[in-house]
Structure 1
Amino acid sequence: MLTRLSIRNVVLIEALDLDFAGGLGVLTGETGAGKSILLDALGLVLGARADSGLVRAGEDQASVTASFEFGALPHGIATILGEAELDVEPGEPLLIKRRVKADGGSKAFVNDQPVSAALLRELAGHLVELHGQHDDRGLVNPRGHRALLDRFARADVAGVEAAWDKWRTAREALDGARAAIARAAEDRDLLLAHLAELTALEPQEGEEEQLAEARAAMQKGEKLTDDLEALRALWAGSDSALANLRGAARRLDRIAGEHPMLGEALAALDRAVIEASEAEEKLERAAEALAHDPAALDRIETRLFDLRAAARKHQCQVDDLPAKMRDMRTALDAIEGGEAEISALEQAAAAAEAEYRARAEALSAQRSEAAGRLDAAVAGELAPLKLDAARFRTAVTPQPEERWGPSGMDAVEFLISTNPGADFAPLAKIASGGELSRFILALKVALAEEGGAATVIFDEIDRGVGGAVASAIGERLARLADGGQLLAVTHSPQVAARGSQHYMIAKSSEGTVTRTSVQLLDVSGRQEEIARMLSGAEVTPEARAQADRLLEGV
């Protein structure tokens, strides 16, 4: 609930700090004292448009800070803050601040963390529910009627939502499978032709690199053929250099023992023969490796050309051709096995639809039953509020299948008829300002235990009524405030007497400076203010006595 409101330099308010408690708080004051300024200031922290005209004359900026406290942070608020990655410690107050500059622009903060005005508007529905003469949101807006009726009925909306999600997922899977099979079937002949080509080609991973290396080696051999043949001639035959080395070594071997130097010469010659033999062997092996076979080279180049042409055709690398073949086989298998898959998906979708229909129909029955109870509850509140000629109806209307959704199959709207025999119509189109506020109060009383915002504000709900009707309004406001927090801006002494806290709004002037102030009244202050509301400009003893009777009566 709202526990504190601090206002600085907003229109006629220079500096104001208000503390609020639970129960019914009433705000009174003469017409023009500035009650609307308080609501405008609260609207800023709830994301209303930041009008620079709200900044007090002569000041650079205005600011409003509201503090909300909860036993446990409501789920809706926790979800919004979590999605915005805002940290609020358990038990910590929720502090919302808004600053507006005189030259335009504003900044917003939640617990000193900068946020957007849009986020404040998201939070607003969970923090404050405002009803006034020109209420176009809350209970008047049909978009919220279904949720209100569901809370009243304690309906299993979560089960319907889960069933809807399951059905939607099943339908999407079925539609996706059908589309995939249709696309594959269109390409079946082309797939078969491509797969036949690749199967005949039999591409292997790594084959391109191996063929390229073999072709490069053969091309080198072609270039080196003359050199290799000339070298082979040097080493081959009886007159080759190596044969002469070996002959010299044999002759030297016969005389090496005649002198040490001859032995050393023989050893050197032996090493030369060994090295030359190794050179001969390597030359032979190199010649074999670089052997140039024109037919083999042609086969390799043809194979490379075919592989690379296939890769270009399928827009991939040569090494990816085997994977392409596997993908084609998978696509063809999907076409062949698609009917079985479609059948299974159709069964799953049908089962999910049946579950959704069953849950949604049960929800519709709950809504229809609860609508009757709500209509009776509201009807019981109308006569005391001087709306005895009016009728209230909760319309639960089945929707066509294309408009079904996670909230079920129905549209819900609150309708009224203000005169006997008149047709039912939406609240905002039929009721006058005063009637609308009283209808909203009747609805709030009927829905009192079914959740809503932490703080409820009624702005001049008692306008144009008095006596017994005003007493009935005050009694119902007090009942609504029991266990929660309700603030009422009122001109009615009967309503003001019901408050557990009473704030008086006053305007004063010093020269050319006008200020609005708010004072929390004590017992004697309440008596005097209610007496003023009863008697007008001059407070009489009779008015004070009547004020005492009103205060004692509650």
Structure 2
Amino acid sequence: MLTSLSIKNVVLIEQLTIEFKGGFCALTGETGAGKSILLDSLGLALGARSESSLVRKGSEQAQVSAVFEIEKSHSAFALLQAADIQPDTTLILRRAVGSDGRSKAYINDQPVSIGLLREVGDTLVEIHGQFATQGLLDPKTHRALLDEYAGVDIEALEKSWGGWKAAAAALTEGQERARKTIAEEEYLRAALDTLEELDPKEGEEEKLASLRERLMKREHILENLNVAHEGVEAAEGALGGAFRALEKAGAGEALVALDRSLVEMKEVAAQIQSLSADLEESEFDLPQIDDRLFAIRGLARKHNILPDELPKLRGDLAAQLSLIGRQEETLGDLRKKADDAKKLFIEEAERAGAARRKGAEKLDKLVEKELPPLKLEKAKFVTEIVALAESEWGPYGMDRVRFLVSTNPGAAPGPLNKIASGGEMARFMLALKVVMAQTGAAGTLIFDEVDSGIGGGTADAVGERLARLAKGRQVLVVTHAPQVAARAGNHWIVLKDGTKDMRTTVVPLDEVAERREEIARMLA
């Protein structure tokens, strides 16, 4: 509930602090005393639009602070936590407005956006009156209020909506993936065929490169051995000729030495042949190694990967082609899941719709019973529930909900703020709030002009209903009706002091005599 309101330099208010209590609180005072300034000031703290005209003449800045006490289960806690603001059971909403109309907002002394201030404020206070724009005058709130009143299982509805949207997204993703995969099938098949034909192994490129290096050295060695072999053969021929010449000459000692050289030369030739034979017996030859090595490297370049990644690519391509083969089966499963999820959502939405219609029927009857005592005996209250097109469905279901009224017999019902006058609007909303006493998060209800244009028994009926409503939450009423003020548990009078500036002040009427005097003034 609202526990205090501090106002500084707002229009006719220089500095003012009001300490509020729970239950039924009345604010009275003569016309022009400044009651509307109090509501405008509170509106600033709740995130209403700021204007430079609200800043007191001669001041650079106006400032308003509203202090609330709430439970930890209050919805404002979740809003603040989502905004990374540590909530507390004491909330201080503060607004500063400069003479240029620019403003700053704070919650518990932490700077916040005006939007967040307004969002939090809407959970704390409902203002019902001619110029109010939130609460029951906002059609966006009607469905949530009816759902709470009718006991609609919103959590199950939101869960089924989320499940359907997730399943539908998975199906769309699967269809897109299938479209792309099928379009690439020919390319994938050709790429896989090439890989299977080449059959590259992990680490093979490195092994082939090493073997190629060794083989290139072998070719060089063989070439040198061939040259040596040719030289030895030539030397053997020359030595053979020399041997025959020495033999004819009878040069015995020289012949023995030359014979020894021929034997050694033949041994050299045999060793050369053996070395050549060993090298030529390798199972690989350089052209074969080059062909395979360059094929592996070329394929890796084509796919922009490393040669050692070719075996993995082969597996990936095979998996993609296998997926294409199972594409219809996979899409069928995804389609069934999406259909089942949609069916579940529709079931939950229809269940919610049935509960809404049942709750609306009860609500309409109870509200209409409240209208005659409030001088709205010719008025009608209708809860309109319209089925939405599928494109408009959402986590709230398949219905749009609006509270409509008509004030004259035979007139078509319309939005509350389009049909009713300021006083009628406040009384309509009073009737609705009395019936829906336990709905809505706001712990503070403010009624302005609820007694406009009424008196006598009607004003007493308004007061009785306000008192009844105040049993469950804090109710602040700006009133000119003594019948309403007399029922309040707490009473403040708004006055203009006798200074030159005619500043607005607020005085609590704590004594019975003081209250009687003010009510007598109102009766006069």
Q: TM-score range by the shorter chain?
A: 0.7 to 0.9
Specify the alignment match of 1:517 in structure 2: 505
Match of 1:543 in 2: none
| TM-score using structure 2 length | 0.83
2:157 alignment partner, one of 160, 163, 168? 160
Q: Deviations over 1:438-463 (max 9, x none)?
A: 21111111111223311111112211
Unaligned ranges ≥5, structure 1: 237-284, 536-554
1:147-188 per-position Cα deviation (integer Å, ceiling 9, x unaligned): 111111111121122122222222222232222222212221
1:404 maps to 2:390:
no
Aligned to 1:26: 26
Task: Confirm or deny: 8 A CA contact 1:503 1:518 kept in the other structure.
Answer: yes
- Provide, for residues 392-419 of structure 1, a one-character-per-residue CA deviation record: whole Å limited to 9, x for no partner: 1112222222222221121111122221
Alignment gaps of 5+ in structure 2 = 233-274
Aligned with 1:442: secondary structure? helix
Shift of 1:299: 4.1
SS at match of 2:15: strand
Say if 2:438 is the partner of 1:449: yes
Alpha-carbon distance change, 490 to 190 in structure 1, aligned in 2, over 3 angstroms: same
Q: Which amino acid aligns with 1:3?
A: T
CA positional deviation for 1:509: 4.7
- How much is the aligned-residue C-alpha RMSD, in angstroms? 3.0
Name the amino acid aligned to 1:83.
A
Measure the CA separation in 1 of the matches of 2:113 and 2:413: 40
1:135 aligns with 2:132: yes
> TM-score, with normalisation over the residues of structure 1?
0.79
Q: Which residue of 2 aligns with 1:474?
A: 463
2:362 match: 373
Give the Cα–Cα distance (whole angstroms) in 2 for the partners of residues 4 and 216 of structure 1: 91
CA offset digits 1:29-82 (Å, max 9, x no partner): 1222212221222122212234343332333322222111124341x2111111
- Residues 335 and 507 of structure 1: is their aligned pair in 2 closer, same or farther, counting only changes over 3 Å? same
- Find the aligned partners of 2:55 and 2:133 in 1 and give their Cα distance: 26
How do 1:424-435 residues align onto structure 2 when only pairs under 5 Å count?
Answer: 424-435=413-424
Q: How far off its partner does 1:2 sit? A: 0.7
Residue 135 of structure 2: SS of its match in structure 1?
A: coil
Mapped partners of 1:304, 1:125: distance in 2: 74
Shift of 1:353: 2.5
Instruction: Give the match for residue 240 of structure 1.
Output: none
What are the residue-to-residue correspondences of 1:72-91 with 2, within 5 Å? 72-74=72-74, 76-89=75-88
User: Are the aligned partners of 1:133 and 1:461 in contact in 2 as well (CA < 8 Å)?
Assistant: no
Equivalent residue, structure 1, for 2:341: 352
User: For residues 129 and 217 of structure 2, what CA distance do their matches in structure 1 show?
Assistant: 96
Q: Is the 8 A contact 1:22 1:485 kept in 2?
A: yes
Distance 1:315 1:17, change over 3 A: same
Q: How does 1:233-312 map to 2 (within 5 A)?
A: 296-312=285-301
State the Cα deviation string for residues 170-223 of structure 1 (Å, max 9, x = none).
22222322222222122212211111112222233333444445556666888x
Secondary structure at 1:139's aligned position in 2? helix
SS, match of residue 416 in structure 1: strand
Judge conservation of contact 2:12–2:504 (CA < 8 Å) in 1: yes
Displacement of 1:504 after TM fit? Answer: 1.0
**Structure 1 Cα separation of the partners of residues 498 and 212 of structure 2:** 103
Q: Partners in 2 of 1:27 and 1:62 — Cα distance?
A: 22
2:91 aligned residue (90, 94, 97): 94
Return the match for 2:190 from 176, 179, 193: 193
Output the amino acid matched with 1:18: I
Query: Identity of aligned pairs, percent?
Result: 48
Give the alignment partner of residue 475 of structure 2, picking from 486, 507, 511: 486
Change (3 A) 1:32 1:226: farther
Match of 1:330 among 319, 329, 352: 319
Query: 2:68 maps to what in 1?
Result: 68
Q: Map 1:405-420 onto structure 2 (within 5 A).
A: 405-420=394-409
CA distance in 2, matches of 1:478, 1:138: 20
Cα shift readout 1:277-321 (whole Å, capped 9, x = no counterpart): xxxxxxxx9xx99x9x9x945444444433333233323333332
Residue 241 (structure 2) aligns with: none
2:461 is the alignment partner of 1:464: no
Paired residue for 2:256?
Answer: none
Q: Which amino acid aligns with 2:91?
A: L
User: Contact (CA 8 Å) 1:203, 1:321: kept in 2 or not?
Assistant: yes
Task: Name the counterpart of 2:258.
Answer: none
Aligned to 1:383: 372
Do the aligned residues in 2 keep the contact of 1:25 with 1:501 (CA within 8 Å)? yes
Q: How many angstroms apart in 2 are the aligned matches of 1:504 and 1:136?
A: 26
1:451-488 CA-to-partner distances (Å, cap 9, x unmatched) read 33111111122112222221111111111111210111
Letter in structure 2 aligned against 1:520: P
The alpha-carbon distance between structure 1 residues 5 and 136, as it changes in their structure 2 partners (threshold 3 A), is closer
User: What secondary structure is seen at the aligned counterpart in 1 of 2:67?
Assistant: strand
Q: 1:207 to 1:9 in 2, by over 3 A?
A: farther
TM-superposed CA distance for 1:13, in Å, is 1.5
Structure 2: distance between partners of 1:135 and 1:358: 37
User: Are the equivalent residues in 1 in contact too, given 2:122–2:134 (CA < 8 A)?
Assistant: no
CA contact (8 A) 1:130 1:457 kept: yes
Q: Distance in 2 between matches of 1:219 and 1:34?
A: 105
In structure 2, relative to structure 1, the CA distance for the partners of 1:226 and 1:345 (3 Å cut) is closer
Aligned partner letter, 1:153: A
Aligned to 1:121: 118
Please state how far the C-alpha of 1:380 moved relative to its aligned partner: 0.2
Structure 1 Cα separation of the partners of residues 495 and 20 of structure 2: 18
